[in-house]
Structure 1
Amino acid sequence: MWQRFSLYDVRVIGHYLGVLALFSSLALLVPFVTALACGEWEPASRYLLTIGIAVIVGSGLRFLRIDPGRLNRQQALAVTGFAWIALAFIATVPLHLSGHYASYLDALFDGVSGLTTTGASLVQDLDHLSNADNMWRFMMHLLGGLGLIVVALSFGLFGRGASALYASEGRSEHVVPNVVQTTRLIAKIAMVITFIATIVLTGLCVFMGMEPLRAFLHALWIAISGFMTGGFAPMSQSIMYYHSFPIELLLMLLMLLGSINFVLHSEVWKGRVAVFFRDLETRTMVLWLGVMACVIAASLSASAEFSDLPAMLRRGLFMVVSAFSTTGFQNITSNQMTTVLSSGAFLVIAVLMAVGGSGGSTTGGIKFRRIGIIMKSVVAAIKEALAPDSARVVVSYNHVGRRVLAPDVVKEAMMVFILYVVTYAIGALVGIAHGYEATQAIFESVAMASSGGLSSGLISPGMPPTLELFYILQMWAGRLEFVTLLALVVEIVVSLNPRRLVQRS
């Protein structure tokens, strides 16, 4: 049975949220220092104000400290669920005060989009946004891509609550046995890849004619956004702004790397390359991308603008990688997506976003591991139907070692799969109810719930506030992969109903 939040639970949850709020003040120092270095005094004052708010909120919540012991699963789910909400509101403050958003709700949309690595944006006049504000947008991608809890744990926060919080963010696999060491290795891998990509991209931007400081900042930002599969770009034209095939190639590589499970990254890091190629996720990814690339190539060949091979490889392949990695980078305009792309290619991009990349990566969506497990369960069902009654059918798969397909694993994969599909459908119906075409409403719903970020044009300043609020909820639910969100909602409902009989499990 469900158990209510007691006063003790509320104080423990508040304590940990206070720790995260104080930690966010450290992250806010990055855009503050950027503003000072670039002589942007007005943005510097906004970030100093936001740092003060984060410190006050965090310190106030820390007064609830009661020497919390080891977190139970209920408390950990609540901390994780509320953390994404609370930090989104803090992150929104400097964006709203920048004057580049029509309303606070638009700024909140971008704050949630940044932290969930969705990448859809309602910012106005992006091309003239300050360096500090741009830095904060990509810092949100960095925090959200790695996971708020993972980043905090890598700094040694939370102590005895580490294991429960790590699991509550939808992560069940450890790179190394210790949770803190696992998060630090994840952070180290991400920093090394981002650092190398930034150096190469800086060189490419300088070669294009950018001044060194601007080249470095742009390189850093798109490197973070690419590997974290975020989708924010420093210019309104997204990746089209650079008109550089080498930059697009490098970003495709970054998006592919960001789509791979960090556990598999660690195996390659340790020299166990064979484990990577035998893994269920890797094989599912290769098969899935091969099939979908052929389908979209056949669909694009009917379009005059994409019928030649170079255009198909440059634009079509880039959009395939951007969609399946749920990044949201574009090298074609939103108008071209709805008018030049065929309906088949448009649908393929939506399906790619819906599935997403590997579990334990920076991507959103259903994930390859679940798709692979569901397919394995279909194979198991066929084998059982064909086998003699006395035979015992065992289906196994590789995922960092040989594993037997267990009923509870199949159940979890099917449950999350169904929740995503239902959410995609509900979001599409909400879009249709607001007067938009069905295909665009479906596309946008999938992009929001899967953290895909690509937009057919519905996401824009002035969109209906009710639809905007629903998309914010979709981004939040998709990032938490529903289980944390649903558990949190049930706990709140139970706690607000004192008449209900509650038993402790």
Structure 2
Amino acid sequence: MNYRIIGFVIGRILLVEAALLLLPMAVGLGYGESPVPFLIPMALLAVIGGLLSFRKPAHSALYARDGLAVVALAWIFMSIFGGLPFYISGDIPRFVDCIFETVSGFTTTGATILTEVEPLTRGGLFWRSFTHWVGGMGVLVFVMAILPMGGDGHGMHMLRAEMPGPAPGKLVSRMSDTAKILYGIYLVMTIIEIVLLAAGGMPLYDACIHSFGSAGTGGFSCRNLSVGAYNNPYFDIVIGIFMMLFGVNFNMYYFLLVKRFRDVFRSEELWAYFIIAAVAVGAITVDIVELYDSVGTSLRHAFFQVSSIMTTTGYATVDFNTWPTFSKAILVALMFIGGCAGSTAGGLKVARVVILEKASVGEMRRMLHPNAVPAIRFEGKPLSERNIRGVYLFLAVYMAIFVLSCLLVSLEQMDLVTVFTAVATCINNVGPGLEIVGPMGNFSSFSPFSKLLLSFDMLVGRLEIFPMLLLFAPSIWKRRLAAPQRQADF
């Protein structure tokens, strides 16, 4: 473990977080609010970050386990310092709640302990949603896009640990250029959504808040009733469409820009993503049509909620907790499926679901024909045993953490649906669940222990499990110089 380079990289990340706090502070000043809640954490971040990154170590090699440690520690520290503005301003009186809210923001989960959000300071509300935008594409990806990190292999190790999906890769030869391309596309799409919402009559502040939530597929709103507070079909359609767009692998947008249309239209994951969404929308529309005055209204609400839950955003136009059981079961299933690999969405990812389906069919064929060696292909390429084993391993560890978390949260003596969906919505980075944690509910009634556990689940889900778990492995902290380690594609 190369402690010095880990400290150096984390120091730079903390400096970037200090700079990010300038934007919500400026918004707060524009509304006549005190800058102190942001100045204090900015000063702490600047001092600590400056001390850690004052001088780059002579030995700057960053291997696989170093990259995993950097990503996990960076997200933890950013969440702790990111919660200070809420605590200092008094927006959230308990620091455990501040940590929960900030982890929920950076991991783009959208779960909240707040019973009402409208009384918060404007700067605080802006920072709360801005964490979605920063965390959506990835904190480390953002840092790599604006600051040089040294060797290109260093960035690849961190990208693998932070980017959602089975096998992230480079779009171009340099990792830093890949990060710039991704964030460039991300920024342009966010600005387009802001413009469209503002053009439809939404106040600019509100348009920024909801665009940050859509882009990061997070779901924090500045209204107690979420998007439903506007009761505007135009807003529902615009936000619903952009949530679906941000749930697509961002590589597809790059391929469109460079006119590699064949790579887009032949993407198995992309087709599966839209087919699953279309089937879910159709089924829910038929199931809820009796609750609303027309098929059009039912279709609009079904599309919005499927888009919101499948992309793990968590916005709501209606209280889907009152929908029929069949519709709620579909939404819970979509929580686990999630969006595409390489998007800002959470969940297992459509790519893994497709690979698991193909691998299962292949195993059944092998049982019927023992001498056959069925080739499993994904996105036009054959999958190695290592790839398939990695997906199975990911699912096994994911289910183990999910079950253990359910058991521990069940000590709260809440109903089973609340416990199950609370853990599901946190580990899949969705936001709302059912019953107490439904779209019009919150997590305020949970104990501090459960809030910290669910915060851990949010980080586990966002960072694809292994970076967080490896922090508890004693061998990762041994100080020795080793050859670069290979990392499995999960």
- Give the structure-1-normalised TM-score: 0.88
* Aligned mates of 2:44, 2:340 — CA distance in 1: 36
User: Cα–Cα, structure 1 residues 504 and 397, in superposed 2: closer, same or farther, change >3 Å?
Assistant: closer
Match of 1:258 in 2: 246
* Aligned mates of 1:204, 1:381 — CA distance in 2: 52
Match of 1:436 in 2: 414
Q: Is the 8 A contact 1:315 1:331 kept in 2?
A: yes
Q: Is the 8 A contact 1:102 1:461 kept in 2?
A: no
Match of 1:10 in 2: 3
Q: Give the length in aligned residue pairs.
A: 474
Match of 1:274 in 2: 262
Moved more, 31-40 or 111-120: 31-40
User: Cα–Cα, structure 1 residues 392 and 470, in superposed 2: closer, same or farther, change >3 Å?
Assistant: closer
- Matches of residues 209-224 of structure 1 in structure 2 within 5 Å? 215-224=203-212
Match of 2:14 in 1: 21
The amino acid that maps onto 1:360 is G
The amino acid that maps onto 2:189 is I
Q: How far off its partner does 1:190 sit? A: 0.6
SS in 2 for 1:107: helix
Q: Is the 8 A contact 1:11 1:64 kept in 2?
A: no
* Aligned mates of 1:98, 1:242 — CA distance in 2: 28
Match of 2:224 in 1: 236
* Aligned mates of 1:371, 1:14 — CA distance in 2: 37
Match of 1:36 in 2: 29
Match of 1:158 in 2: 149
* Aligned mates of 2:41, 2:368 — CA distance in 1: 64
- Give the structure-2-normalised TM-score: 0.91
Determine whether 1:342 maps to 2:328.
no
Determine whether 1:205 maps to 2:201.
yes
Q: What are the ranges of 5 or more consecutive residues in structure 1 without an aligned counterpart?
A: 207-214, 497-501
* Aligned mates of 1:150, 1:504 — CA distance in 2: 21
Instruction: Give deviations 1:373-427, integer Å, cap 9, x for gaps.
Output: 11111232244345583x54323232xxx20122111111122222333333333
Determine whether 1:325 maps to 2:307.
no
Q: Is the 8 A contact 1:126 1:234 kept in 2?
A: yes
User: Cα–Cα, structure 1 residues 388 and 52, in superposed 2: closer, same or farther, change >3 Å?
Assistant: closer
* Aligned mates of 1:431, 1:77 — CA distance in 2: 27
Q: Is the 8 A contact 1:305 1:311 kept in 2?
A: no
SS in 1 for 2:21: helix
Match of 1:366 in 2: 348
Determine whether 1:393 maps to 2:367.
no
User: Cα–Cα, structure 1 residues 306 and 481, in superposed 2: closer, same or farther, change >3 Å?
Assistant: farther
RMSD of the alignment, in Å? 2.4
The amino acid that maps onto 1:361 is S
Match of 2:339 in 1: 357
* Aligned mates of 2:161, 2:386 — CA distance in 1: 18
The amino acid that maps onto 1:188 is G
Determine whether 1:470 maps to 2:453.
yes
Q: How far off its partner does 1:157 sit? A: 3.0
* Aligned mates of 1:366, 1:148 — CA distance in 2: 20
Q: Is the 8 A contact 2:427 2:458 kept in 1?
A: yes
Match of 2:277 in 1: 289
User: Cα–Cα, structure 1 residues 503 and 166, in superposed 2: closer, same or farther, change >3 Å?
Assistant: closer
Match of 1:211 in 2: none
* Aligned mates of 2:344, 2:402 — CA distance in 1: 20
- Matches of residues 134-149 of structure 1 in structure 2 within 5 Å? 134-149=125-140
Match of 1:461 in 2: 444
* Aligned mates of 1:383, 1:104 — CA distance in 2: 54
* Aligned mates of 2:483, 2:364 — CA distance in 1: 42
Percent identity between matched residues is 23
Q: Is the 8 A contact 2:111 2:443 kept in 1?
A: no
* Aligned mates of 2:103, 2:404 — CA distance in 1: 20
Q: Is the 8 A contact 1:327 1:363 kept in 2?
A: yes
SS in 1 for 2:378: strand
Determine whether 1:185 maps to 2:167.
no
Q: How far off its partner does 1:201 sit? A: 0.6
Q: Is the 8 A contact 1:447 1:454 kept in 2?
A: yes
Q: How far off its partner does 1:494 sit? A: 6.2
Match of 2:296 in 1: 310
Q: After the TM superposition, which parts of structure 1 deviate over 6 Å for at least 4 consecutive aligned residues?
A: 502-505
Moved more, 251-260 or 115-124: 115-124
Match of 2:488 in 1: none
Q: Is the 8 A contact 2:309 2:334 kept in 1?
A: yes
Determine whether 1:196 maps to 2:192.
yes
* Aligned mates of 1:354, 1:265 — CA distance in 2: 24
The amino acid that maps onto 1:419 is V
Moved more, 271-280 or 289-298: 289-298
User: Cα–Cα, structure 1 residues 52 and 504, in superposed 2: closer, same or farther, change >3 Å?
Assistant: closer
Q: How far off its partner does 1:141 sit? A: 0.8
* Aligned mates of 2:317, 2:474 — CA distance in 1: 44
